[in-house]
Amino acid sequence: MIYFSQELKIRNETLFYYGLVCLLASFAFLILTRMTSTQVYNVSAWYKPFKFAFSTFLYAWAMAWYCAYLKDFNIGFFNWAIIILLGFEIIYIAIQAGRGQLSHYNRSNGFYAGMYSLMALAATLVTVFTAYVGILFFVNDFPDLPNHYLWGIRLGIAIFVIFSFEGFVMGSRLTHTIGGPDGSPGIWLLGWSKTFGDPRVAHFIGMHALQVLPVLSFYIFRNTKLTIFLSILYACLAITTLIQALNGKPLLKNLKHKQSHFKEY
């Protein structure tokens, strides 16, 4: 990890420090979940900025690492676009958390509706920029990279982009719960509903393909065909959880059913 952080700083110092700031902010938000009583949807309001800040930390460091492989890439523009767009989201979400107000799906007045639309625009632009990076990895040759690792990066970015846009499933409905109201009992920290469908599960799985697939390909799979095959399985997992959510079924429904069936005996 020490080697990785040192190498990352050399590759992209700007995103290295931005990711570090997001990591420290996520820790601060997590501490605030214990120090304050402000709630949104019956849980601490600070869980949401924690999740966004920590996710941004992972994204920033991953993209800093991958983009260093690209030649003639305008990394300065990319860096500051990511910092401004995702920084805006985190700051607004944190402000709303401190006020005990919704940031997403909040159309209670013109200002909140406008801010929600701006967050959607910011997320869309980040996804488009990431998709462009992904295209560069598909159309260019990288003779210095192991082929299995290259395909891990390609497919990791591709699945990230697809399931980033999957966020519009929630945005169009103005809810992250299907089959019941937002605020139903959820899994600790993640918040995914235990009783209704929750598209955030697929959103989470799909977007973190950005980190999971390249790392597994480089350290474990070490084979191009295996990387592609398991990447397809990973995408199918995300799709399955999305279909399950759209049908109003929670992630842990089958597990709970099996446990209750076992107790009958």
Give me the pLDDT at residue 264, please: 36
Q: Output the CA torsion 107→109→112→117 (10° steps).
A: 60
Longest dimension (CA), the chain: 66
Give me the pLDDT at residue 253, please: 66
Consecutive sets of 10 residues in the chain, 265 residues long: mean pLDDT of each? 90 98 98 96 95 98 98 96 98 97 94 96 98 98 96 98 95 92 90 94 97 97 96 98 96 55 36
Give me the pLDDT at residue 255, please: 47
CB 174 within 8 A of CB 105: yes
What share of residues in the chain are helix, strand, coil (percent, to 5)? 70, 5, 25
Q: What pLDDT, in 10s, does the model give residues 60-98?
A: 999 999 999 999 999 999 999 999 999 999 999 999 999
- Terminal Cα-to-Cα distance of the chain (whole angstroms): 48
**Domain ranges in the chain?**
141-265
* pTM: predicted TM-score of the whole model, two decimal places: 0.93
Distances (CA, A) of 197 to 124, 125, 128, 163, 208: 24, 27, 27, 16, 20
Give me the pLDDT at residue 261, please: 37
Q: What pLDDT, in 10s, does the model give residues 3-24?
A: 889 999 999 999 999 999 999 9
The kind and range of the H/E element at 62 are: helix 47-67
